[in-house]
Amino acid sequence: MALADPTRRAILSMLLEDDMAVTDVAEPFDMSLAAISKHLGVLAAAGLISQEKRGRVKWCKLEPDALREASVWMQGFGQFEPVNLDAFERFLAAEFETPAPPADP
């Protein structure tokens, strides 16, 4: 689900160019540094990026092998129709949603 969010996809696009400091990643977005850090945490947990502290600055680096694996996996869905990641995220959320207990009669 890391790739389902448009902010995270935009971050990955930015990191295609070069490694970036977290503050530089956050600059174009209209959200707090804490919110960007959460997005970066999701990407790191998925193995799509790595983070490294250099001095007092935290840097983000794209992990191309993991991104390649995700791309190959998503291409499997392409044989049916183009993958709509937002719709796919809604599908996964519905599939893993915990059903509410039945109401007492």
Domains in the chain, ordered, with CATH? 1-91 (1.10.10.10)
Please give the residue that has the higher pLDDT: either 23 or 76.
23
Portion of the chain with pLDDT greater than 90, in percent = 43
Among all chains, which residue has been given the structure tokens 């160019």?
A: 17
> Given this model, what pLDDT does residue 43 score?
93
Confidence of residue 94 (pLDDT cuts 50, 70, 90): confident
Please give the residue that has the higher pLDDT: either 47 or 84.
47
Mean pLDDT calculated for residue range 65-88: 68
> Given this model, what pLDDT does residue 95 score?
67
CA distance 84 to 74: 10
CA distance 82 to 77: 7
Confidence of residue 52 (pLDDT cuts 50, 70, 90): very high
CA distance 59 to 54: 7
CA distance 22 to 35: 11
Whether 63 shows a pLDDT value over 80: the answer reads yes
Whether 99 shows a pLDDT value over 60: the answer reads no
What single-letter amino acid sits at 34? A
